Chains A and B, each alone.
Chain A
């Protein structure tokens, strides 16, 4: 399995500011994903980040609000821009393992953001 590290693990943010979340994986992976989990809710895919190309966003999520970088095969960042209290959520980085391991999806521990 992949070991995924996210920073920050928790933060309290002021309304109107932006925060960048970092995701580091201990092995090279092709696909990285960002999910959002609102308080007490399930997980929703924000976007897919492929190295060397623009991220692909799911319906309801836009690049201006959630810009993503994927500079190499072990690292990605998600920025939550111009935050409002509705952005208070857990943001989760996930990676897809290699085909020989069945394309299994693994998650990091999440970044718990509270917007005040």
Chain B
């Protein structure tokens, strides 16, 4: 089955700098790669996603890149702000029998230092 590795486990950056979180996956059949932000005491919130037919996607300060050949995808946050501090999870999935079953990475705790 699918296995997703996420690095780093913790990341601390100065406010205004960029943050990059990287994930690798094992199953070449995976075709959907979402990123979630989880704040303390809350459920995961989808922040951006990408499908295997696209190499890059951007939404304001957030971008995701996908390299299907190398089986890795990355989250890029530019001009970081204190409210970006949270735990970020990547995930990979394949549509199986109509169900999008997500396999998650281990999470990255991002801290933005003012």
Q: Which of A30, A43, A45, A56 has the largest number of chain B CB atoms within 10 A? A: A43
* Chain A interface bracket (under 10, 10 to 19, 20 to 34, 35 or more): 20 to 34
- Complex CA gap A53/B25 in Å reads 31
B81 within 8 A of A: no
- Complex CA gap A31/B105 in Å reads 22
Contact present for B42 and A109 (CB under 8 Å):
yes
Contact present for A103 and B100 (CB under 8 Å):
yes
- B residues within 8 A CB of A108? 43
- Complex CA gap A43/B101 in Å reads 12
- Complex CA gap A92/B106 in Å reads 16
Question: Which of A31, A43, A50, A104 contacts B46 (CB under 8 A)?
Answer: A104
Q: Which of A55-102 contact B (CB under 8 A)?
A: 56, 58, 90, 92, 96, 102
12 A–B contacts, CB within 8 A, in A order: A31-B98, A33-B102, A42-B107, A44-B104, A45-B102, A92-B43, A92-B44, A104-B49, A105-B34, A105-B102, A107-B43, A112-B41
List residues of chain B with CB under 8 Å of any chain A CB.
Answer: 32, 34, 36, 41-46, 49, 51, 89, 93, 95, 98-107
